[in-house]
Each structure stands twice: as structure tokens, then as C-alpha cells.
Structure 1
Amino acid sequence: MNDPQNQPPGMKRLAAVAVFASLALAGCTAADEPETESGTAGETAGATSGETAEGSGDAADSPAATVADIPEIIDDVQPSVVTIFLDNGGLGSGVIYTEDGLILTNEHVVRGAEEVQVAFADGQRVTGTVVATDAVTDLALVQADRTGLPPAEFQTELPEVGELAVVIGSPLGFENTATAGIISGLHREIPGSATNSQSLVDLVQTDAAISPGNSGGALVNGQGQVVGISEAYIPPQAGAVSLGFAIPAGTAVEVVEELLEDGSAEHAFLGLAPRTITPQIAQQLGVSVEQGVAVLAVEEGGPAGEAGIQAGDILVSLNGEPLASSEQLLAALRSLNPGETVTAELMREGETSEVEITLGERPVENG
């Protein structure tokens, strides 16, 4: 999927499409735009672990965690969570992935940095080197100059709605801070995020408080297992109360293992720039469709272009699943692999048709 902030050359655009794109952006409200943080004011948070729990059912068979268990959970997990400091004064959180000093954090926390400082729960602080990043999922790996560390444990199966959730990190620089709540929802996409981010889709929602600086820290369950990388929150000034989001642990583990293999992660690529249909966009295009994804631009020679998709088309469904937003399209691609063939239903000039698209691999330079 094209990064809307860095579209590749060769995009064919329609003048009318450019007009409705600006209308769609003007239609976004503060409630549509989550706070993100790259060491400044904003927020997204994350978690990690080197030992993975493949979801054999042990967690489901265990007694449900209660509020009384929270201090023990924090004591167990806190040594595996770190604070990351940047030279520019920015900071975030991270989670120990391996005992030899590999730290998982968010890409936006370390963006633009080659070296950072990593502070551990025992007070020691060492230099860390950024060794790999993936902007699509907003994940990064930092190699800290320390060994003999306690790696966190990942639960790679999705948690259940209503489960206990504890967020551990360094909000606003308050190191080793914990907040608690529950898992509030699964497979969440943040409305309007596709215009500037690939990562805010297919997320775990929690009401455990997430604040600037939690980015890269751990969202854990009642067994002390990392179930998510806290990725974003919607601020109170947008009318939200305790709306936080995390990258699922399964996604994090998969991406980390790819990064460790060759320094990059593969992502399915359509080669088009999407925009959620709004009444204004529908009016500009002269269509009566109530939901779908408008194609703003198509990369020459890309998968969508080769399949015959054109700027101005409206994607109605992918593999039979209706598309109500650009974020749903990005989430659908997250579960697909380069080389797979998908069926897209599209509308053009009031007529619907189906096309077969063989997905490509997202170019690293677009990420």
C-alpha cells in the first residue's frame, strides 16, 4: 500500500480527484486524528518480548487475573521494560526482547536517530544502537550495550475483550509507570489515520491509560505476557475518555523475526493511494455509493495499475469483504502476503466489476 506521505513517482492523478482529496482532509476533526509521539508531544506506545507464547490454551485455562494480582504482574514485568532517551530531548519506552540486549520499541520513537540511551528498571543506563526499523508497522529494534537481561514474554494470540490489561512505560518521562484497565476491543482502525500513517490499523483497544512517552512500552495481560505494543491514543480534548490502542503482539513478533533475518519486513502492496468515501467525495465523483474507498492515484506498473484500476475508481470490497474506509483496506492488506492474488470489486462511472490483483511487495523506500 502506498504511504500517503511518500507516494512513489509515476502516480497518475485526476484533477477532480485532487479536489476531493483536499475536501476529505478538511473534513477530518480532532476526534479523527490520534495523538502520536516521536519524542515530542503526542502519543503512541509499544511492547515486546523475546520468549513467545504461541497460545496453546494455557492462558485460557488459568484463573482470571484480578485487581489484587496487579502488583505482582507489575513486579514481574517492570524489569523487562526500558526508557529510551534521544539526544533531541525526546523519549519513549521499549521492551527487552532478548537477554543479550535487543530492545523492541516504536519506529517513531527512534526515527532519525542512530544511537539512543536506554535506561533500565534497576537504574543502569547504556548506549543503544538502532539496528532495524519498519515504518509500516511502526516497530524498531535497538541493540543495547548490556547482556544478562530479562526478556519479556509475548502472547501471540489475541487477548479477549474484557481481560485485564496493564500498560507499563514512561509517560511524560515518569519512568516505570503502570496503569491498568481492560482490553476494550480488537481489530480497531483509527478513522482518518490512513492519510498519514500505515500503522494505525488492526489494533487492540484498551482503557488502560496511555500517555506521551508510553510509546514502545508493554501492554500485558493477567499472566504478565505482552499482548500488544501500545500504539496510539485519542486525546481528551477530542472528547475521548481512555481510548488507547496497541499493535497486537502476534504482529510484533512476526515483524521482529523478519527484521532479525535480513533487516526488513515484507508487506503486501497494491500500488494505489486510497481515500475513504465521504458525502463530499461522492458528490465530486458524481456517484451514489455510500461507502467504499476512492482511488486517488495509481502507480504506473504497480499491481493495481496492471490489474486495470484507475484513479477515480471506487473499491467496494476486497475478497468479498466490504470496504468502508481506507483503514479497513490497509488492515486487510496486513493479513496478506506479496504474490497472493485478491479479488477487488470496484465501481467506475456507475458500473461495478471485479478484477484480480496479484499483490506486490511494498518498496522499502516508500516506508
Structure 2
Amino acid sequence: MTAIQELEERTRSTAGAVGRSVVSIGRDGRGTGYVVGVGRVLTNAHNLRDRTTQVRFVDGEPAQASVVGSDVDGDLVVLEVDTGEAPVLDWASDPVTAGDTVVVAAAGQHVLRVTWGQVTGVERGFRGPRGRPVHGALEHTAPAARGSSGAPVLNGAGQVVGVNTHRLEHGFYLARAADTELRAAVAAMQEGRSIEPVRLGVALAPGAVARRLRRAVGLADREGVLVRTVVEGSPAGTAGIAVGDLLVTAGGRALSTPDDVIAALSGLRPGDDLVVDLVRGETGSTVTVRFPDQP
């Protein structure tokens, strides 16, 4: 069997194995979702218009679904809907690497499309629906038509290695990698949780602006992000962070942009702590920010 024949066989077998588990999202088929549990469908948050939406299985009638759990900043929601006998798709046990072949099964516009391509990169990033950066995405070349957001990206065994998010230019696509963090989030959403990231409660100026402002008042240049606003009663305010402070590190991560702060907060949950090094004027200090159990 030639390499092309092997790819053809893999694509056909994947279509047969996962087709019943893939759904179109919305009356117009604007997105794709797939079965992650009995009565549970995963899709992208940006595919929804409100808390309810129509889903259509490839071999069935349309049904009304409702949001049971969400992670809007991560661009994910879990819907509750009757999944019937549709199989639950398995997570892959091993991550993919650049050069691996992947298959995408999408049902946008109410048509099942199964295509294959290669992983061209990992540890990519994009911004979620509310502008918050999402890290650790994989990039691939499996062609995806309109309505492919939320489609499962599969390995050769038909296991999920990622969740399609959006098209890049020149035939490249991004997907949320099915890593430990994503799987934990999906499990929590299936149980009815809505995941909100912890927040410091500050507005920040990036390093270049911070240096310019420090020079303007005669302070030495330091790398960091400048606190411009502190929300009253926020975790930052309770920890003693004040307007004019220069945040230098957070959780051991050096800071030069607001996105660095968001990366330092990634993975933290209510009840966790974050150690922040800061400079006030010319004096350095360390504070511990505690995120309350009920944000």
C-alpha cells in the first residue's frame, strides 16, 4: 500500500468512526461540535449567539441545545443535548508534534467534511473572544471549510488531539491543543461549571510606556509593567499593590507586557496565591496576591 493509499484509508476509516459524533452548530451551520460525554457536546464559544442553539447530527434531526458550562476566554462551551447512541470521542494519550498527520471532521453548513493535513507547529497562540491570549495551540494544514470552528482534530487512531478554532492565512489553521488543561476544563464544564480566569484587578501599561513615564519623573529604567489603575477590593489592592508600582515578576516570570501578566495567571484558580515582585519608586518589595475562593 502506498503512502497516499494509507492516507485515503485513514481518512475513510476516521469518517466512519467519528461521523455520528460530529454536529453542526446553529440553524445556518455556522460551526461544528462533537460529543465529549453522554448528553454533552463541545464547541467554540464564538459559535454561539446566546445560551441556546440548534445542533444537528449528520444522520439525525435538529435538536435544541443549551449551555451547561463555559470557558469563554478559552473559546470553549459545553452544550447539553440528547446525543442518543453517538459515541463519545476519546482524548489522545500523546500530544502531536510538528510533522504529524491529522484529520479534521467538520459538519459546518450541515455537511460532514473529513480532511487531512499535517501539524506545522505547536505552542502557537491566539486571542479568545474577549481578547485574552490563549497559549499552547497547534497549527495544521487540514483544509477546513466555513463552519469548521469547534471541529475535532484527530490523530491516526481517531483520538482527539485538538479543537479547531479559526483559519489563518495561506491554508493554515489553529486548534486548541487537547492538553491536560483543556481536558480538565472540559470535564469541569460537563459538570456545569463556568470557568472564569483569576484576575489581579489592575490596568497596566507595557514596558516601553513604563520606562518613558519613569524617566519623566527622574526614576531609573527598569523592565516591568506599570500599574495605572487598581480596582478597589481586588486581589491586587488587597495585597497592597498601588497605582504607580512597577510589576517586575509574577510567579517567577519576568514581565514586560500585560500579556506576560496574563500568562503568569494562566492555570491559577480561586484559592491560589501568586508571588509578585514590584518596584515602588526605587524600592523593591515582594507581595503575595491571594485570589479568593469566590471570585
Tell me the TM-score range normalised by the shorter chain: 0.7 to 0.9
The one-letter amino acid paired with 2:138 is: V
* Distance of aligned partners of 1:308 and 1:177 in 2 relative to their CA distance in 1, 3 Å threshold: same
Partner of residue 61 from structure 2, selected from 109, 121, 124: 124
Q: 1:266 and 1:194 mapped to 2: Cα distance?
A: 13
1:254 has 2:202 as partner:
no
* Distance of aligned partners of 1:108 and 1:362 in 2 relative to their CA distance in 1, 3 Å threshold: farther
Gaps of 5+ in 1: 1-65
Partner of residue 169 from structure 1, selected from 106, 120, 144: 106
The one-letter amino acid paired with 1:214 is: S
Say which structure is richer in strand. 2
* Distance of aligned partners of 1:361 and 1:229 in 2 relative to their CA distance in 1, 3 Å threshold: farther
Asked if 1 retains the 8 angstrom alpha-carbon contact of 2:75 and 2:129, the reply is no
The one-letter amino acid paired with 1:104 is: L
Asked if 2 retains the 8 angstrom alpha-carbon contact of 1:139 and 1:252, the reply is no
1:106 has 2:36 as partner:
no
The one-letter amino acid paired with 1:155 is: A
* Distance of aligned partners of 1:325 and 1:206 in 2 relative to their CA distance in 1, 3 Å threshold: farther
Asked if 2 retains the 8 angstrom alpha-carbon contact of 1:163 and 1:222, the reply is no
Q: 2:105 and 2:73 mapped to 1: Cα distance?
A: 24
Partner of residue 149 from structure 1, selected from 78, 82, 86: 86
The one-letter amino acid paired with 2:136 is: D
Measured after TM superposition, the shift of residue 90 of structure 1 is 6.6
Asked if 2 retains the 8 angstrom alpha-carbon contact of 1:170 and 1:213, the reply is yes
Asked if 2 retains the 8 angstrom alpha-carbon contact of 1:156 and 1:253, the reply is no
Gaps of 5+ in 2: 1-5
Which residue of the partner structure matches residue 62 of structure 1?
none
In the TM superposition, what are the counterparts of 1:302-321 in structure 2 within 5 Å? Answer: 302-321=234-253
Partner of residue 96 from structure 1, selected from 13, 35, 55: 35
RMSD: 3.1
Q: 2:16 and 2:225 mapped to 1: Cα distance?
A: 46
Measured after TM superposition, the shift of residue 128 of structure 1 is 2.0
1:67 has 2:2 as partner:
no
Asked if 1 retains the 8 angstrom alpha-carbon contact of 2:189 and 2:195, the reply is yes
1:220 has 2:154 as partner:
yes
Asked if 1 retains the 8 angstrom alpha-carbon contact of 2:101 and 2:155, the reply is yes
SS of the equivalent of 2:91 reads: strand
Asked if 2 retains the 8 angstrom alpha-carbon contact of 1:80 and 1:96, the reply is yes
In the TM superposition, what are the counterparts of 1:245-324 in structure 2 within 5 Å? Answer: 245-265=175-195, 267-274=197-204, 276-277=206-207, 279=208, 282-284=211-213, 286=215, 288-289=221-222, 292-324=224-256
Q: 2:129 and 2:232 mapped to 1: Cα distance?
A: 21
Per-residue CA deviations over 1:68-121 (Å, capped at 9, x if unaligned) read 5333233322322110114xx5721101122x432111222124242x221112
Q: 2:116 and 2:277 mapped to 1: Cα distance?
A: 43
Which residue of the partner structure matches residue 12 of structure 1?
none
Q: 2:185 and 2:154 mapped to 1: Cα distance?
A: 19
1:84 has 2:22 as partner:
no
1:242 has 2:172 as partner:
yes
Asked if 1 retains the 8 angstrom alpha-carbon contact of 2:69 and 2:189, the reply is yes
Which residue of the partner structure matches residue 22 of structure 1?
none
Asked if 1 retains the 8 angstrom alpha-carbon contact of 2:46 and 2:75, the reply is yes
Q: 2:31 and 2:129 mapped to 1: Cα distance?
A: 24
The one-letter amino acid paired with 2:26 is: F
The one-letter amino acid paired with 1:106 is: N
Q: TM-score, normalised by structure 1?
A: 0.66
Q: 2:146 and 2:210 mapped to 1: Cα distance?
A: 34
Which residue of the partner structure matches residue 139 of structure 1?
76
Measured after TM superposition, the shift of residue 199 of structure 1 is 5.6
Asked if 2 retains the 8 angstrom alpha-carbon contact of 1:201 and 1:327, the reply is no
SS of the equivalent of 2:14 reads: helix
Per-residue CA deviations over 1:153-211 (Å, capped at 9, x if unaligned) read 1126533333222222245x372223333333333333xx4894236333233343456
Measured after TM superposition, the shift of residue 354 of structure 1 is 2.7
Q: 1:196 and 1:142 mapped to 2: Cα distance?
A: 20
Report the structure number with the largest CA radius of gyration. Answer: 2
Q: TM-score, normalised by structure 2?
A: 0.80
Q: 1:157 and 1:332 mapped to 2: Cα distance?
A: 25
Counting aligned pairs with the same residue, the percent is 28
